[in-house]
């Protein structure tokens, strides 16, 4: 092939390639409209889906946030309040977080403002535990903590009576004795709050626990009717006639429905058919006679003021993880490593003082009793909300670092 012919052939080949390269392929008009409509539909679908997903994430923010805050993977247990089915119940950890956030208080929640340990003049804890709040289950843990943190645990003080209030002389005796305890001592007693300052002594670190008021009453009822209690009754009142067998065998449901005297919770009453400790607020209100009336608004307000101003921590064994976290961080001298030790010895702790024979309380009976504990529940929920605030403050501080 000649050079001219070869060149002519290459030029023709290039022309053919260019023709295919730049050729505009015509599409039917209806196909173009279909593609445009499909593109718009996909864009709208993605927009709606993203918007819905964003809304759901906002709804879940409150639920997820405390879990993200949770130290060492510990999360809260759900607590039933007045409206147990609602996620925004103020008496739950999630509800407290949501309330603080919605009212703008969350930014002002800081551990330093919620920790009264810094105001203590003595490195001694007075753990005035109410009856039937499951503090017995803490004893194995406290023994382990005493070894690890070099602290003393004292269970018996100078006043051994279980009266609902202490006399002024008994208060002064117990306060003076507590002041003489060596540094690093944790003193546990079934007693009301003691006012060290009014007697001229330095203030210790105050700790305590609370529990659902109805659960306390039911627990106390079946403990009082146990065989052990019958033996104690015989020893305490050797000359008196023992109660009939039916009294011991009657269930709490029957006791409430029958209107038995020991199951009537009379508002503002001071004396009881069976002297008991159903007034949980009494342990925090103090030893004044004004603290004695049952379900008293005055006693509850006094108790709330004491908790807010005097106590480092008021926990609840219903929220073990949160309580141990707060104790560990707000009172580290005594409770450092509390969560680790609880996890290590959880089996022995959980099985201590468990009452597996306690019958179930019917919902209608629980509601009947609950109506008589309105102010006691107000105090109970106040303590729990304060505990949640202390817990959330810790986790917020960690996130800000």
Which sequence positions are flagged as catalytic?
Answer: 190
Reduce the DSSP state of residue 391 to 3 states and report it.
Answer: helix
| DSSP codes of every residue in 5-18 | HHHHHHHHHHHHHH
Extract the tokens encoding 246: 């039916």
Under the phi-then-psi rule, with left for phi > 0, alpha for psi from -120 to 50, and beta for the rest, what region is 337? Answer: left
3-state helix, strand, coil in the chain (%, to 5): 60, 5, 35
Under the phi-then-psi rule, with left for phi > 0, alpha for psi from -120 to 50, and beta for the rest, what region is 90? Answer: alpha
In this structure, the chain runs to a length of 401
Contact present, 232 and 162 (Cβ < 8 Å): no
Question: Can you tell me the distance from the alpha carbon of 305 to that of 292, in angstroms, rounded to the nearest whole number?
Answer: 16
Q: Strand order of the sheet with strand 124-128?
A: 152-154, 185-189, 124-128, 205-209, 311-315
Extract the tokens encoding 338: 């509390």
| DSSP codes of every residue in 21-47 | HSPPPP--HHHHHHHHHHHHHHHHHHH
Contact present, 210 and 385 (Cβ < 8 Å): no
**Strand pairing category for 311-315 and 124-128:** unpaired
């Amino acid at each position: 092939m000649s050079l001219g012919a070869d060149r002519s052939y290459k030029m023709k080949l290039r022309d053919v390639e260019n023709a295919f390269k730049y050729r505009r392929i015509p599409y039917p008009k209806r196909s173009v409209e279909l593609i445009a409509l499909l593109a718009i539909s996909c864009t709208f679908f993605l927009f709606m889906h993203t918007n819905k997903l964003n809304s759901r994430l906002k709804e879940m923010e409150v639920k997820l946030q405390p879990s993200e805050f949770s130290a060492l993977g510990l999360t809260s247990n759900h607590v039933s309040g007045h409206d147990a089915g609602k996620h925004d119940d103020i008496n739950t950890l999630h509800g407290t977080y949501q309330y603080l956030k919605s009212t703008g208080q969350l930014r002002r929640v800081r551990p330093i403002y919620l920790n009264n340990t810094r105001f203590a003049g003595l490195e001694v804890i007075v753990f005035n535990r109410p009856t039937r709040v499951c503090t017995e289950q803490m004893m194995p843990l406290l023994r382990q903590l005493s070894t690890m943190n070099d602290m003393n645990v004292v269970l018996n003080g100078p006043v051994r009576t279980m009266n609902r209030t202490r006399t002024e002389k008994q208060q002064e005796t117990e306060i003076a004795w507590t002041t003489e305890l060596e540094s690093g001592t944790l003193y546990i007693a079934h007693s009301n709050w003691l006012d060290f300052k009014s007697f001229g002594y330095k203030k210790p670190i105050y700790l305590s626990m609370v529990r659902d008021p109805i659960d306390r009453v039911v627990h106390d009822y079946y403990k009082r009717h146990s065989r052990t209690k019958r033996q104690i009754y015989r020893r305490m009142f050797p000359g008196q006639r023992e109660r009939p067998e039916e009294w011991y065998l009657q269930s709490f449901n029957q006791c409430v429905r029958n209107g038995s005297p020991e199951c009537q919770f009379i508002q503002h009453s001071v004396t009881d058919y069976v002297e008991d400790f159903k007034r949980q607020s009494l342990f925090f209100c103090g030893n004044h006679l004004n603290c004695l009336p049952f379900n008293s608004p005055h006693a509850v307000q006094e108790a709330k003021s004491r908790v807010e101003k005097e106590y480092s921590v008021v926990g609840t064994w219903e929220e073990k993880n949160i309580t141990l976290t707060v104790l560990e961080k707000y009172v580290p001298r005594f409770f450092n490593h509390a969560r680790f030790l609880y996890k290590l010895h959880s089996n022995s702790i959980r099985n201590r003082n468990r009452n597996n024979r306690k019958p179930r309380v019917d919902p209608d009976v629980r509601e009947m009793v609950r109506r008589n504990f309105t102010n006691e529940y107000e105090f109970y929920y106040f303590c729990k909300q304060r505990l949640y605030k202390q817990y959330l403050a810790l986790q917020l501080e960690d996130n800000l670092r």
